[in-house]
Amino acid sequence: MLPAPPPRRILDVVARRAGIESGELRANKLDRESRHLFVETLKGLAVEIDGTLGFDQAEVTAGGLALSHVDRGTMRVKGFENLYACGEILDLAGPIGGFNFQAAFATAELAARDAVRG
């Protein structure tokens, strides 16, 4: 599988640093030298992280109940009668883009179906 391309906003910054007008930012519009300069600038891009926005604004949190403690077909917590775990409480984090919602919905559905079956 090909890696996802970097976000457009990052590519625009790289282009500016490489002295390329953003309107020219198509591989087939760049000459060989500019393409090389663009790639080298991208590879050398250093991103300094100077902090986070804090837990209140966190969009993805990792950690939680280890998946090995949960039956994946029913979301029952192993060793506990009628206890289910789903969604964010699980040690399950995907990249931003709907994967966390999907994980929450899918695990909740599994738990609900099993709970209804009894």
Ligand X SMILES: Cc1cc2nc3c(=O)[nH]c(=O)nc-3n(C[C@H](O)[C@H](O)[C@H](O)COP(=O)(O)OP(=O)(O)OC[C@H]3O[C@@H](n4cnc5c(N)ncnc54)[C@H](O)[C@@H]3O)c2cc1C
Binding residues for ligand X (CB under 6 A): 59, 87-88, 96, 98-101, 104
Say if residues 6 and 42 touch (Cβ distance below 8 Å).
yes
Neighbours of 50 (CB within 10 A): 4
Q: Nearest residue to ligand X, using CB?
A: 87
Q: How far is the CB of 80 from ligand X (least distance, A)?
A: 18
Nearer to ligand X, 19 or 98 (CB): 98
Tokens of 91: 């040690």
Amino acid at 103: A
Contact between residue 15 and residue 8 where contact means Cβ atoms under 8 Å apart:
no
Min separation Cβ 88 and ligand X, Å: 4
Shortest Cβ distance from residue 89 to ligand X (Å)? 6
